[in-house]
Structure 1
Amino acid sequence: MRIIQSAWTCNKSSLLTSNSGWLSPEYNLMSWSLSCLQLKQYYPELILYSDSVSAKMLVDTLQLPYTDVECNLDFLNIYHPQLWALPKIMAYSQQEKPFLHVDGDVFIWKKFEDTLLSGNLIAQNMEAATDYYEKIMISLESALNFFPDEIREERKSKNPILAYNAGIFGGNDISFFKEYASKSFDFVGKNILNLSKINVSNFNIFFEQYLFYCLAKKQNKKVNVLLPETIGDNQYKGFGDFGRVPYEKHYLHLLGSYKRNDFVCKQMANRLRQDYPEYYYRIIDLFKKNKLPLFKNYYNLDDLDEVCLVKRYNCLINKSLKVERESITSLNFDFKRDLKKELGNFNLNKSQFIDFEIFNSKINTILRKDFLLLSKDYLYARDCKASFYFQDLFQDTIGIYNKKVIRDNDYQKIESKYNWSSFIEKQKVKKEGEIIKLEESAAFITTLIVPECDQNRFSLLYVDLLDILILDILKISKTIRELLDELKQNFEANELHKNYSEFEELIFGRIKLGLHAKTIKLNYD
């Protein structure tokens, strides 16, 4: 089956300065690259429908291996830039033979099943709307003056809103897609003068996914879905879990808030670097040459081009990882951080403020005393190697017990009365008017501070007594079996006997946390 993708810059002049819903522009380009390259692994025919700005970036600059490019979406520039589903619908309308459209934030690690692709209509999954989407629909009904008959009839039935998620959309029924696309453009076109009355971004779900559902239902069309379960529109869990590919998960879709999640974006970027380093560094080089900021700026790359960066990466991941230190003369930046100033306004009482100031002071002391001279090459090599740990450890469900892990000794501990690491993380992403609850302990809370080679220079991780126990045991290398056996002594024997699988799941979860935070690493010796 022909696989297609579609890209429209939404009236923006450059993809280098437009977030396109992502945490930052480089993640948008990395997503497109990883999505395209993974599709190309399984489907030789991969067509891009795009406007000229997208084509220039994705094909001419990044050199993504599309079979063909149909650069015919510039006419969409007459539409509102928030109508981001229109290029997809336009791409559907141009198909004359069976196809599957795959979004640029979808990633696969195996071919789609033939039983799925044989369907006349294909979608990712059935989606159930929450009260939030019902309220949006009510607001649209009060502001718009035209709705397709299929939607009006469905609304009259008083049924809960259902839709089909369009992470993948397609099928063999070409005439259906012609009709669907025509109705969708009518839905938008006949309401152009009313778009100022609505949240335009929210409208996309209804003229794409809801209309598809209503039309298919009215015509009694069966829809083949990749995922059999009906998922609530805000309940897409595990769709950004890069730590479980390709050994356990084969399909990810970074929809909605996943695009703005720092951890998920970082893991996606790491996967591109791991599997396709030349494309990853092509993007890095592109931002550096244009003197544009990166969300994660790992080191000064001004004197290195794409080819040198790839060679450097291959050298770092293939060399033995040993702690290296910089010479004091190579340092030309200030390590002092003022977290309160960086986070903006938030209210603390006197006791909390004193504890926060002590916490901040301890961070700066550790940065100067313990992290200052750690080599950036060493830290970056550590990060690159860490990207391989999950698959190396967890893909072999039998051999995993003989794999060795050890703690990484680069981190330091900070004890405080309040859970500042969690508070800081939530404070960074809080919504306007939201008040973040500050956790307090009668004894103390332990935070690990981990050295980083990006512009932030460190990361913070809240840990509990079990995490600390695991790290204490891993002072010396242990097999997973040895670690589990030592940890058993801290749990009730009867409970372990009844719930041993839950015990293993708990410990594996803590190991994964340590691998992500770079406080635990695999020992290949």
Structure 2
Amino acid sequence: MRVVQTFWSGGKDPLIDSFGWSSPQHHFMSWALSCLTLRQNYDEVFLYTDSVGYAIFAEQLSLPYSKIIIQYDNLDCYPTHWAYSKLLTYSLQDKPFVHVDGDVYLPKRLKPAIESAELIAQNWEIGTAECYGDMMRKIKERTSTVLPHFLNNAITADSIPSYNAGVIGGNDLEFIKEYCNHAFQFIEKNSLRNPNPKETGVNHNILFEQVLFAALVKEKGRRVTTVLDHSIGDNKYSYAEFCDFYRFENTDLMHIIGGHKKNHRVCELLERILLNKYPEYYSKIIDLFKDSHKRIGKKYVSDNSYHDYHTFLEDLSLQWEKIDNEELLNLEKMSTHYFKFIQEKERKKLRYKLQSNPYLEIYEDSKEWPKETKELIRSKINSEFKSDRFDIACIPTLLNKGYKEVLIDDLSYNILVMLETELTFNSLLDKLDLYIDNANDKPTDWAVDRAVEYLLYHKLIYVTGESSNY
């Protein structure tokens, strides 16, 4: 089966515009991971794009698409209606295909029953009044909107029918072309290709791509096979099911949909996965954004607030500038080795060996800061950290400011001190039991697991291997 993807720049500069992600860098990392996982499983992976996309994906990143087709230069369409370019790609296919969005990753090949299906989609969506219902009400308020009868029936239903088009395609090319033609007619009749539309506050993409597809499937009595075997509410695409990179190797599909693209944790773990699996492409993307990273671009301007603490940071930065970039890259790679540990059963976790980052430094005077200062620091470093009682752990990094600041609680502090020497997870638990005498202060297993994951995620400790004694 052929896999196809679509990137249309819509007149934007992808090196500046983030396309909904927290940064342009993470936007490209997502495209790279999507392409590379697809090429791992499929011989034919085509990208339909414009000259802007070709310059980046082909010339600068050299992503291993089997074919890159410049199709969408001077595409006459308002950029908000980005799904139009996807529909054009669907309509151009002359053999069975599946289209995969650039924020979708398929770590495994699709099952044969899906690849051989008449029609394919990611999953059936349950439309709610609060989400798709409200969206369709706004569209219907446009008295000039022209709808085919079957689509009008769909958007007046109690639950708006829809298939998520993160993955879409199939073997019934005749139906797919008819579907595309209906979408094109809707777009033309409602002037949605107008580069300067009168109304820009209504997003029609869901309607003319996903809802129309579902409505026409019902009208024609067709059957759709979905990648996911269950339905998802239109506003229920959870982090746990769609964005948890700890499950990457064991999942059939991940889709970083909507607001999840701006989730710092999602973007951080996306970086780790790409570095772990495809370090060459990670480095190429970082090179595109040198000016964002102090050690590489040397253009970062530091903040001079909080004199004592920033003096501490400046002194550390001077020391850390002597560290070779290659050594820091190796530490970054080490920080990607803990996903298996997180997924293990509790007993099997005991054999894993852990150790603190060799360059870790902890600023302890923050406990004495006034409440206002602590609140400001929390807002700058980690607004989700609730406690006023914290220390600040600092480590050198290859990217961004050249260092990373992490707020830590007392349990995390104790774990970091104990892991100055390499310990198995089992030995760490024993030490915590031994040194915390007061039964009221003893952390639960859940609290320790959570603290260890927090420290691993923030690169303050590493999984260094497995002991053979278990």
TM-score range, shorter chain: 0.7 to 0.9
Give the corresponding residue for 1:364: 310
| Matched residue SS, 2:319 | coil
CA distance in structure 2 between the aligned counterparts of 1:461 and 1:399, rounded to whole angstroms: 28
CA distance in structure 2 between the aligned counterparts of 1:467 and 1:450, rounded to whole angstroms: 15
1:424 lines up with 2:380 in the alignment: yes
1:477 lines up with 2:431 in the alignment: no
Give the corresponding residue for 1:405: 354
Answer yes or no: is the 8 Å Cα contact 2:154–2:161 preserved in 1.
no
1:380 lines up with 2:321 in the alignment: no
CA distance in structure 1 between the aligned counterparts of 2:437 and 2:180, rounded to whole angstroms: 59
Answer yes or no: is the 8 Å Cα contact 1:419–1:439 preserved in 2.
no
Q: Deviation of residue 461 (structure 1)? A: 3.1
Give the corresponding residue for 1:22: 21
Which amino acid is the alignment partner of residue 220 of structure 1? G
| Matched residue SS, 2:184 | helix
| Matched residue SS, 1:196 | coil
Give the corresponding residue for 1:223: 224
| Matched residue SS, 2:133 | helix
CA distance in structure 2 between the aligned counterparts of 1:234 and 1:453, rounded to whole angstroms: 37
Q: Deviation of residue 449 (structure 1)? A: 4.1
Q: Deviation of residue 197 (structure 1)? A: 2.0
CA distance in structure 1 between the aligned counterparts of 2:412 and 2:362, rounded to whole angstroms: 14
Compute the TM-score of the two structures, normalised by the length of structure 1.
0.75
| Matched residue SS, 1:4 | strand
Residues 88-140 of structure 1: CA distance to partner in whole angstroms, max 9, x if unpaired? 11111122322110111222221111122222121112223441432222111
Give the corresponding residue for 2:448: 507
The total of aligned residue pairs comes to 446
Residues 316-343 of structure 1: CA distance to partner in whole angstroms, max 9, x if unpaired? xxxxxxxxxxxxxxxx9875533xxxxx
- Give the direction of change, closer, same or farther, for the CA distance of 1:197–1:41 in structure 2 (3 Å limit): same
- Give the direction of change, closer, same or farther, for the CA distance of 1:61–1:334 in structure 2 (3 Å limit): closer
Q: Deviation of residue 163 (structure 1)? A: 1.8
Q: CA RMSD in A?
A: 3.3
Which amino acid is the alignment partner of residue 300 of structure 1? I
466-475 vs 122-131, greater mean Cα deviation: 466-475
Compute the TM-score of the two structures, normalised by the length of structure 2.
0.83
| Matched residue SS, 2:163 | strand
CA distance in structure 2 between the aligned counterparts of 1:454 and 1:514, rounded to whole angstroms: 18
Which amino acid is the alignment partner of residue 366 of structure 1? F
- Give the direction of change, closer, same or farther, for the CA distance of 1:440–1:103 in structure 2 (3 Å limit): closer
Give the corresponding residue for 1:183: 182
Give the corresponding residue for 1:147: 147
- In the TM superposition, 1:71-470 aligns within 5 A as 71-74=70-73, 77-130=75-128, 131-143=130-142, 144-157=144-157, 159-192=158-191, 195-200=197-202, 202-236=203-237, 237-238=239-240, 239-246=242-249, 248-288=250-290, 293-294=291-292, 297=293, 299-300=295-296, 336-338=303-305, 360-374=306-320, 375-377=322-324, 380-381=328-329, 383-391=331-339, 393-394=341-342, 397=345, 399-408=348-357, 410-413=360-363, 414-415=366-367, 416=369, 417=371, 418-420=374-376, 422-424=378-380, 441=388, 444-470=389-415
Which amino acid is the alignment partner of residue 145 of structure 2? N
Which amino acid is the alignment partner of residue 247 of structure 2? R
Q: Deviation of residue 301 (structure 1)? A: 5.5
Answer yes or no: is the 8 Å Cα contact 2:355–2:421 preserved in 1.
yes
Give the corresponding residue for 1:516: 457
CA distance in structure 1 between the aligned counterparts of 2:269 and 2:421, rounded to whole angstroms: 28
Which amino acid is the alignment partner of residue 337 of structure 1? N
Q: Deviation of residue 372 (structure 1)? A: 3.3
Give the corresponding residue for 1:11: 11
- Give the direction of change, closer, same or farther, for the CA distance of 1:97–1:336 in structure 2 (3 Å limit): closer
Q: Deviation of residue 514 (structure 1)? A: 0.7
Consecutive unaligned residues of structure 1, counting only runs of 5 or more, are 303-331, 339-359, 428-436, 497-501
Instruction: Considering Cα pairs closer than 8 Å and 6+ residues apart, tell me whether 1 or 2 has the greater RCO.
Output: 2
| Matched residue SS, 1:175 | helix
Give the corresponding residue for 1:319: none
128-137 vs 484-493, greater mean Cα deviation: 484-493
220-229 vs 83-92, greater mean Cα deviation: 220-229
CA distance in structure 2 between the aligned counterparts of 1:480 and 1:20, rounded to whole angstroms: 41
CA distance in structure 1 between the aligned counterparts of 2:57 and 2:399, rounded to whole angstroms: 26
Q: Deviation of residue 267 (structure 1)? A: 2.7
CA distance in structure 1 between the aligned counterparts of 2:9 and 2:125, rounded to whole angstroms: 27
- Give the direction of change, closer, same or farther, for the CA distance of 1:42–1:439 in structure 2 (3 Å limit): closer
- Give the direction of change, closer, same or farther, for the CA distance of 1:22–1:155 in structure 2 (3 Å limit): closer
Consecutive unaligned residues of structure 2, counting only runs of 5 or more, are none
Answer yes or no: is the 8 Å Cα contact 1:386–1:515 preserved in 2.
no
Give the corresponding residue for 1:352: none
- Give the direction of change, closer, same or farther, for the CA distance of 1:174–1:474 in structure 2 (3 Å limit): same
Which amino acid is the alignment partner of residue 454 of structure 2? L
Q: Deviation of residue 33 (structure 1)? A: 2.0
